[in-house]
Amino acid sequence: MMNGLIGKKVGMTQVFAHDGKRVPVTVLRAGPCVVLQKKTVERDGYNAIQVGFDQKPARKPYTTKPMLGHFRKAGEGAFRETAEFRVDNIDDFEVGQEIGLDQFVVGDRLAVTGTTKGRGFQGVMKRHGFRGGRMTHGGMNKRGPGSIGQCAYPGKVFKGHSMSGRMGGKRVTIQNLEVVEVDRQNNLLLVKGAVPGANNNFVLIRRKKNEGSK
């Protein structure tokens, strides 16, 4: 059994639990993923499978001939996203095999990795939550960072100091997201809470080991 899938963030909604409580959930379209390559301990040093998600026509741009040759081993077409997952028994998988949501059940705990929304170049108040200076008459530092270093000694700004800069667009993993509902017919996972990234962004979904259904 594989411990994860590639998916796409659909959006957020809400569902109602059996006790009537409202639960905010993120809808993820997970799979089906196609096995593209098998990696073994003898050849690669570890057991893993490479899978592809979101099939696209081979004529689309940014699909090179080496990529097409790699994809062709699993069938026609190409894929927009690929990833590797470690597995215990490589013989359980075959190239071209489709993997769906059979491994997920309600109550599973997931780690979901995505790319956060890019915010561009931002100041310290938005980027780091600085309070800023006083906004009354005479205040000389409204939204500035204030002092950023010392005088003669050490005479520099220490590395890693909170300052203005590019915000967002980073790879972030959210741990312990609970599976609220599994729709195997439509390949949808409903997980409790928020997932990083904008709608239609690709995400990496990993099921935490030793976690079963509740």
Residue (of 178, 199, 186, 201) closest to 107 by Cα position: 178
Sign of CA dihedral 55, 57, 58, 63: negative
Q: What is the pTM of this model?
A: 0.81
Domains of the chain are 4-119+170-207 (2.40.30.10), 122-167 (no CATH)
* The predicted structure's pLDDT at residue 60: 67
Residue (of 9, 4, 186) closest to 115 by Cα position: 9
* The predicted structure's pLDDT at residue 69: 86
Contact 125, 143 (CB under 8 A): yes
* The predicted structure's pLDDT at residue 61: 72
Contact 38, 93 (CB under 8 A): yes
* The predicted structure's pLDDT at residue 76: 66
* The predicted structure's pLDDT at residue 212: 45
For 43, phi then psi, to 5°, come to -95, -40
pLDDT per residue as tens digits for the range 28-45 = 999 788 999 889 888 888
Q: Which residue stretches of the chain have pLDDT < 70? A: 1, 60, 76, 209-214
Residue (of 104, 126, 121) closest to 191 by Cα position: 104
